[in-house]
Structure formats: C-alpha cells, structure tokens
Structure 1
Amino acid sequence: MDIGATPDENNANDYLFASWQLSALDNRLKVNAAINRTNIKMVQHSATPKITKDSKNSPMIGAMYDVTKEISVFAVHSTSLFPTTDKNDFDKQMPAVTGDSYEGGLKVELMGGKISGTISYYEITQKGGSQRDPSATNRNQTIWDSLTPTERGVRFPNNSTRESLNDRGGSPGDLVAGGTAESKGFEADLIFQPTPEWQVMVSYAHNDQEVTKAVNAATIGQSTSGHIKDQFALLTKYTFTQGPVDGLSIGMGMQAAGKALQDYSAPGATARYNPSTFYAEVFAGYKFKAFGYDHKIQLNLKNLTTQDNYVGWYAKSGSGYAVDRYKVPSKMIWNLSYDLQF
C-alpha cells in the first residue's frame, strides 16, 4: 500500500499474516495461533530525503475452554506494531507504536440464549509513538534563542518570553518519543433477549492508564492524550412480528463517556480535559414485501441531547490560565433511509 499522505511524503506499509487453529477434547478446547509480519517504510521528500524503516513479527495465541455448555473461559496474548505519522516541530518522525497485551475473561450463554455476554480483564503495554512534553524546546523557541532582544520584538511582537512560544500547531512544548505506557481495565458486554422480539444490549468499559517510562521524567504517571476512564452504552430494539404492525421495529440507544484528557499544559503540568459527553437517539424501521421484493424504510433521530462540541480554551474570570473549553452548540440530526433487496 503506497499512500501520499502529504505532497512531500510517501508511506509504504505491508503486512503478512498466517494462522493455525486446533480443537480438542470433543471440541471443548479451541486454540488459535497466528503471526503477523509488519514492514513500515516512510519517506519524507526533501533535499536530503528522510527515510524511516521498521519491521516486526507479532505473534498471537488464544485459547477458549467450555467449562459447561453455558460457561466458557478464554485467554489471549498478542503483540503488535502500528505506524504513526506524528512528527515533532522539527519534522523528526516519531517512532512506531509497539504493543504487548494479555486478556482473559468469561463468556456465558444462559437461559437458552436469552442472556449472553462477555466480561474480560486486560493489561496492555505500549512503547513508542509520541507524547507532548510542555517543557520540550520547539522551533519557535530555537529561533528565539538565535535572535537579539531587538530582533525578538520584531519576530515575535505578541510574545514577551521564550516560555510563551508555542509550536506550529499552537501547543506548548513539542512532541517527544512516547516512552512506555501501561493500560489496565475491564470490559463487560451483555445481551438480554427476554422475548424473540425484544433485545437489550449493554456495555461498560473501565480503563486506567499511565506513562511508566519517558524521556522526560516529569511525564511519568501521566496518561496519554484522549484517555477516557469510563464509557457506557445501551441499545434496545423491539420488532413486531404479527398483527397490523408486523415488520415494524422501534428502538433507542445512548452512549456516555467520561471526561477526555487533552494535555498537561496548565500550570504545574495540571491536566486539561474535554468534559464528559452523553448522546441519545431513537429509531423506527418498517420491513415489507412488495412486487416480489423486500423493502425497508428507517428513520433515525440522532443527538437528542444536542451534545456540545468542544474547541479551543479560555480562562474564566480571575483565572490566570485557559483550562476551560469553548462550547459549540450542536443540533439534532435526522436520517431517513430506504433499502431495496433484489
């Protein structure tokens, strides 16, 4: 795969995959082993091209054992290599992300399939990638260092100190190699089907993450940008199968997520977050047969909560630093679709 990500860059990644499966003990034990070969090549075109190459064999092995007809246990270990296009303010390519994960859990199917679900615990270690270091020197600060006081006033008229100079993306400091981050958490998914017509799906995820090794020791103990500790989702649907409304289905869904980490740019490397979010939607569909074909019409009403979007930062009255997000109102969205099956 050869992708021109930007006019002056080409990324070429290829993957080779092989797997092997085994079942034993009257099919109660199932084992799956696989290996993925990843080759990464990134070329930044300039007078002197910058070429970054990386490759890795990533094994995976998993097993599931049926304790009873209704309860199974499983365990999975896998490794990975993911490319990143992140570059610092000096166009230095950040390293690829390598992962090492362990997961184990329980699968159930109870009451003749009316209740089914999975609960699992995992530990993931990631190395490489990028992490923002507010204390790292960026390009503007390097330029500042090379100028006289008079030249600084001309080049940076709105900045009185070196520390106030942001990178070209408007963020303090610069990107540095991501070091090592560890994630631990659990996930639970449950499907409840009290009748053949009614389904309820619930999921919950909890995650704790922290940097354990880094170039800048001050970032140890921090989480990476975008980290959300808790997330919850619910979806329910009822389908009418008889009477005048045969073929009609109605349902609703909702999704809630805790605050999302953005950076540690506040004084004292204090974290800044996007506030928590909550989305809800309802939908209705109707399946029918006409002229020998199956038809479906569905209406979705999304974002019933008109959840705000968050951009930029501002400082509240009396505050010396911008730690609050600007809120951009959003609107409810409706979508009407029609499907015809031949």
Structure 2
Amino acid sequence: MQGKFGFKPRPVSAALLMVLAAWQTQAAETATASGAPTATTTSSTAPANATVLPSVTVSSNTNNNDADTFVAKQASGATKSNRPLLETSQSVSVVTQAQIASQGAQNVSQALRYLGGVQSEAGGADYRFDTVIVRGFNADEYLDGLRLPTVTYWSRPNYDAYLLNRIEVIKGPNSVLYGQASPGGVVNMVSKRATADPIHEIYVTTGNHNLTEGGLDLSGALDNDQHWLGRVTATASKSDTQVDYTQYKHYDIAPTLTWQPDDKTSLTFLSQFRKDPDAGFFNQLPVQGTLVNNPNGKIPSNFYGGQPGFDNYSRSQESVGYEFIHHFDDVWTLEQNLRYMQTRSDYAMVYPFGVVANAPEVHRYSMHINEKLKDFDVDTRLGAKFDTGAVKHDMLFGVDYVHDDLTQTSGYGDASDLNYLNPDYSTPVDMPALTDHSRLYMVQTGLYAQDQMQWDQWLLNLGGRYDKAQSRNNDLDDDTQTVKTDYATTGRAGLMYLFNTGIAPYINYATSFQPQAGTTFAGEAFRPTKGKQTEVGIKYQPKGTDALFTAAVYDLKQQNVLTADPDHPNFSVQTGAIRSRGVELEGKVNITPRWLVSSSYAYTDPEVTSANDGTEGKSPVSIARHTASLWSEYALPGVLEGVSVGGGARYVGTSYANSENTMKVPAVTVLDAMARYRWQQWQLSVNVQNLTDKVYLNACQDNGCHYGLRRQYLATLSYQW
C-alpha cells in the first residue's frame, strides 16, 4: 500500500491490515458488498450490470444502509438514541454516504451544499477548515457524538468525506445533549464502522488542477462467528488549486475494529491518522477589487497574495477512541464514547489586508503560528426503557467531560506591497520571530437527562442539563494566568403527534449557552451567550414510498452578544442580541427505483435586535436570506442499463458584506452534473462542479471576500469485489 498510495501505515494501522489480510484469506466468497461505498456513486445489492436506487432498510443507528439511498430514516445525533427521524420533534438534515458519493463531495463543506438553511462554503474555494453556518450562526462540529476542538483555528482537525458514513445537521439549540453549543445547530459526522458483510473497494481519481487521488475501503468479519469485525478506509490525494502557487496534499487512514462477544455487548475501536504536508493556502482578498469596483482593475480569482517559498501550512492529526454498548436486560443499557485526539500545525503566511491607493496593489503582512493541541472527550450514558401504565418511556441519564490543552507560539511582521495584476514575488520576506507564547486549558463537565415518552400516537421529549465550564489562559511570556468559570442550565421540550398517514406535526422549544472569552474594561469576565428557540414543523413519510418531506418555521434568539464599548476603545460590552427567523423546506424521494429527486429551500431572516455600535436593526454579515437547491438522478433502462445521469442547481441569495449593510454580495446559481457507468465490478464516474465555470464571490465580510470554487471535474474509476 505504501508504494501504491504513497503513505506509510503507523504500527497500529499495519497490525490491523495484517489481521484483515488473514481475514481475506478466510473469505470464501467474493461479492459486491451490500452498502459498499464508492468514490463518486452509490452501490447496492443489485446485480453488477444493473443501476438502481433501492429503498432503504434501517439496520442500526450508524449504518442505515447509507451507501444505498439519499433518504435517511433516522439520526442518532438528535436524541443520542436509535429513534426514527419521523419521530424526532426537531429539524434534522442528513447527508448519506450515497449522496456524498453521487455529488462528488470531497470534504464536509462540499457535502453540505444541498441542505436547506445551511451555508457551508463561507471560505469559498478554501477548504482548509469547515465553516458551516446554520440558521444564521456558525455551527459546532462533532465526530461520532463527541465535540471537536473549538479553542483553536489553525489546528482544527479536517476529515475526508470518503471516511464518513454520513453527516447529520441537527438544527437549533442542542446544549441539552452537547453542552456549550452554537444556537444555530450541530454538525455531527459519523465515521465508517466495521461491517459483518464484506466490503472491498479501491478507487483512483483524476481531475483538473493536476488532481491525483486514490483510496481503499476493506471491511468484514475476522472470524467465522463474526465476533470480530474489522475495517480500514484510507485516502491519499494531491492537487493544485485555482489559486496560483497553492496546493493540497494529504494522507489519511482510519482503522476500526469491533468486538461483539454476544448480542448484548459491543466494543468498537475507532482511530484516524492524517498528515497534511501541504494543507492548502488561500488569502481573503480585499473588498475593493472583488466586490467593490477598483478603478485600477479587478483582482483575478487566481491571484495569490502570499509569498512563494515563504508560505507553508502543514498539519497532522491523530485520534484513538472507542464506543461501548452493553444491554444489561430489556430495560437498562450502558453506553460510553471516548476519544483522545492531538493535532499539530505549523503555519507561515503572507496575507493581503487592503489595496494601495491609485495603484493595482495590495498591502501585506506576515505571520508565523505554531500550535499543538491535545483533546480528550468522554460521554457516558445510562438508558432505560420501561412503561408506566399506557406511557412508554425511553430515558437517558448522561455525564460528559471535555478537556482541551492548546499551546501556541506566534509572531507577526511586515511584507512588501504586491501588484495583483502583475505580481512580482522577488522581494524577500523575513520570517517573523515567535515572540508570543501562550497555553490555554478548557474543561467542561455536564450532567444531563432526557425522557422520550409515547402515549398512543403522542410523543413528548423532555430534557435538562447542568454544565460547568472553566478556561485557564496562561501568558507564558509574563507568567500570568486568567481563569474563567461559567455555569449554565439548559433545557428542551418537544411535542409531536404521529398520524397513521405518515404525517407528524410537532412543536419544539430549546435553549443553549456558549462561554465567551475575555473581560470588560472593568476586568469582569464575559457571561456566556444564551440562545433560545421555538420551532414548529411537520414531517411526512408516505406509506410504501422511499421518501421523507420536512417543513419547519423557527424563531431563534441569542443574548449577551459582544458589542463595542462606546466609552473604552478596543474593549467590549455584552449588550448585543441577535434574532433569526426562518422557514425551511426539504424533500428527498425515490420517485421510482430509477429516479431520485432531492430538493430544499430556506428563508433566513437574521437581525441585530440590540447593539450600541449603530448596527441595531441591521442584518449580520454573510447570511443569505434565500437558499435553494435541486438534485435529480436517473438510471437509464434498456440498452443503456448501467448508465446513470444526474445534475443539480444550488442557489445562494444576496447577503450583506458589511455590518452597516451598505454593500451586498450578489446572488448566484451554480450548476453541477454527474454521469456514471457500471459494468460488473467496475465503475466509471464523472462529476463536474460549477459546470459553467461561473466566477462569483461566495462570502464577504468587512475585511475581505472569498471567491467561490470555479469549475472542477473529477473522473473516478473504482473496483469492488
């Protein structure tokens, strides 16, 4: 594998590969796996020469045949239990493995493009980090139900979409189950697990910008009794980008091992090891010359505002953990998720920050940041299912703990101005000295309880939580420490009625909190922001049809938002408040076994309702009021059996580019297309993103803009056995 894909397995990975090799020797049958994932398409148990979109059969809360359908029927992240989406009194959107593959998504941001109420590409063509906006607020990211670190920016972990089984977007406040969280929602990524049914796949991908990629996915039972299951998923990729002098390169491997000695106990070890020798490099470009006309000329979308030979961004991440489940009897169940993660990054960059007057040039600064992050998360839950008369209870008692430890050294300097129409990078840039040294600790402990009750066709969900969150910021240069402790109580209540026709209306109320770093001019620590939301919605799952339709109306408010201190420059006070109201519609349906349609629309109306900086009554920046999407895929019959074609359109409406609301980012409609041919165990897929090569701005803020991803085409050849 080292010669083929260019990466060296670590010892734990190599050991598991040896076990898998032994298992493969035992395997007597070779077949296309039920639910085997492909790089840019779906797969199924149908004959190899048939291309259909089969209906889903739910088997667990983590697999759900996500490789076979766009139409997810349940999401464990919403309630931390195995409950169907139709019975969840909350808005939840799911991107299955099949959708990720069909649309050619290579990362989390691309995978979320077609969801209503979600803006996932705030960084434009820059995919070093996931920045997902849900209902007007930046969403928090979780992996397998455990929070990903939020104390850092440059060392944030990154995940290849091929390593994921699904992505769940749980909308609205979710602090009851997850502690400190954005009021907009939570993005929960679910890793691929080991399966008893065999999965064997390898693929290679090529495309523009000199893209070269390869990957493999091997899974199955390691013994005849299926007490041991193993899986290894890996990718290796290298490509240039639409911006001059920039490239991505990564190696990623995710071994997993499951031990299930009986039908009551399961222990799954999860791990992931990733290396980004070149993690990409982009610059936010000045507003003048991108959004606003510059008489000296427009800044090209391929302009590189950095410094070749100076800029470098390398990142590595490793994580190990487990998921444990034990059913004591028909009532009590114990579950525990645990993960230890560490990431490291070294980032040297030159970046533009404004245009030069009367010249097609940009000013530039330099920066060098070195970070090391250690993150430990554990979540323990005790569940109980029982009846009290005619009421069925599904109770959950939990305690979770998070500990982050971030060490950072940094330095800043100057760089020469640069002509963006005819850049000359010959002027050297000196590496800034690392003069600032700090260490940040963040600890959170939470206790929570939830009861999902059912009486006849009524469903009632009640939950409550108590949190203690503490941060300690150490300035290692002057040997000082700032300690901040926050306490919060949050809750949730949801009521739903299940009609026999498959219609389920509901109402939901939930609250959230997020600690704030820093102090006022008087030295008082900022209080956590608080969120609260009322949501009314309806879900519809037609009988006998592989489909799910949802509609929701919400009113979401956040308080204790930081605004500028009018009496003390460079300080803040907590007098701000933001309100977001909206409507979201989403539908996914297999109209026939050969024809799939997925669509969404969202209207988001954010407003600053309280502020002392002149922004009251204005809209927050970068939030599009209207977003819509449509994707359709059809498997051709007859002599063209094995051929599938499809495509989609995604619309992002106008948004404000500055807090004064005097500049708008234009609306844009982007077209995508796909084609696939499957013959026996071989499959060739072609995806084109931004089919018309439209040049557009994805997002702008007061200090700059990002160009969206221009036309990108991918051709993938995969083999399953």
Task: Specify if TM > 0.5.
Answer: yes
| Equivalent residue, structure 1, for 2:580 | 183
Quick one: structure 1 residues 196 and 310, their matched pair in 2 at CA, closer, same or farther if it must change by over 3 Å?
closer
Structure 1 residue 11 displacement after superposition: 4.5
Hey, what's the Cα distance between the residues in 2 that align with 1:341 and 1:19? 43
Q: Which moved more, 1:107-116 or 1:121-130?
A: 107-116
Quick one: structure 1 residues 309 and 256, their matched pair in 2 at CA, closer, same or farther if it must change by over 3 Å?
same
**Alpha carbons 1:114, 1:193 under 8 Å: kept:** yes
| Equivalent residue, structure 2, for 1:279 | 670
| Equivalent residue, structure 1, for 2:454 | 23
| Equivalent residue, structure 2, for 1:69 | 501
Structure 1 residue 277 displacement after superposition: 2.7
CA deviation vs aligned residue, 1:248-267 (integer Å, no higher than 9, x gap): 32211221111222323xxx
Hey, what's the Cα distance between the residues in 1 that align with 2:613 and 2:600? 36
| Equivalent residue, structure 1, for 2:444 | 14
Matched, 1:119 2:551: yes
Structure 1 residue 126 displacement after superposition: 0.7
Which blocks of at least 5 consecutive residues in structure 2 are unaligned? 1-402, 410-437
CA deviation vs aligned residue, 1:56-90 (integer Å, no higher than 9, x gap): 2321222221234232211111111234568999x
Report matched runs for 1:1-342 at 5 Å: 1-4=403-406, 6-7=408-409, 8-14=438-444, 16=446, 17-25=448-456, 28-46=457-475, 47=478, 48-83=480-515, 95-110=527-542, 112-113=544-545, 116-131=548-563, 133=564, 138=569, 177=574, 179-214=576-611, 216=612, 218-240=614-636, 242-264=637-659, 269-290=660-681, 296-305=683-692, 306-309=694-697, 331-340=710-719
Hey, what's the Cα distance between the residues in 1 that align with 2:648 and 2:712? 14
Q: How high is the sequence identity, in percent, across the aligned residues?
A: 20
| Equivalent residue, structure 2, for 1:153 | none
**Alpha carbons 1:13, 1:38 under 8 Å: kept:** no
Hey, what's the Cα distance between the residues in 2 that align with 1:95 and 1:11? 18
Quick one: structure 1 residues 98 and 245, their matched pair in 2 at CA, closer, same or farther if it must change by over 3 Å?
farther
* Residue identity in the other structure for 1:198: W
Hey, what's the Cα distance between the residues in 2 that align with 1:37 and 1:328? 42
Hey, what's the Cα distance between the residues in 1 that align with 2:513 and 2:493? 16
Hey, what's the Cα distance between the residues in 2 that align with 1:207 and 1:33? 27
Quick one: structure 1 residues 340 and 11, their matched pair in 2 at CA, closer, same or farther if it must change by over 3 Å?
farther
Hey, what's the Cα distance between the residues in 2 that align with 1:176 and 1:337? 53
SS in 2 for 1:67: coil
CA deviation vs aligned residue, 1:6-45 (integer Å, no higher than 9, x gap): 44242524354543222221xx222333334444333332
**What is the number of equivalent residue pairs in this alignment?**
286
Quick one: structure 1 residues 289 and 82, their matched pair in 2 at CA, closer, same or farther if it must change by over 3 Å?
farther
CA deviation vs aligned residue, 1:246-302 (integer Å, no higher than 9, x gap): 3432211221111222323xxxx4533322232221112344543xxxx54432111
SS in 2 for 1:307: coil
**Alpha carbons 1:94, 1:129 under 8 Å: kept:** no
**Alpha carbons 1:304, 1:332 under 8 Å: kept:** yes
Which blocks of at least 5 consecutive residues in structure 1 are unaligned? 140-173, 314-322
| Equivalent residue, structure 2, for 1:320 | none
**Alpha carbons 2:619, 2:661 under 8 Å: kept:** no
Question: Which of 1 and 2 has higher RCO (CA within 8 Å, sep 6+)?
Answer: 2
User: TM-score if structure 1 supplies the norm length?
Assistant: 0.69
SS in 2 for 1:263: coil
User: TM-score if structure 2 supplies the norm length?
Assistant: 0.35
**Alpha carbons 2:622, 2:699 under 8 Å: kept:** no
SS in 1 for 2:620: coil
Hey, what's the Cα distance between the residues in 2 that align with 1:278 and 1:88? 43
Structure 1 residue 136 displacement after superposition: 7.5
* Residue identity in the other structure for 1:76: N
**Alpha carbons 2:565, 2:573 under 8 Å: kept:** no
Structure 1 residue 198 displacement after superposition: 0.8
**Alpha carbons 2:467, 2:489 under 8 Å: kept:** yes
**Alpha carbons 1:188, 1:203 under 8 Å: kept:** yes
Hey, what's the Cα distance between the residues in 2 that align with 1:284 and 1:231? 25
Hey, what's the Cα distance between the residues in 1 that align with 2:716 and 2:520? 44
Structure 1 residue 51 displacement after superposition: 2.3
* Residue identity in the other structure for 1:299: V
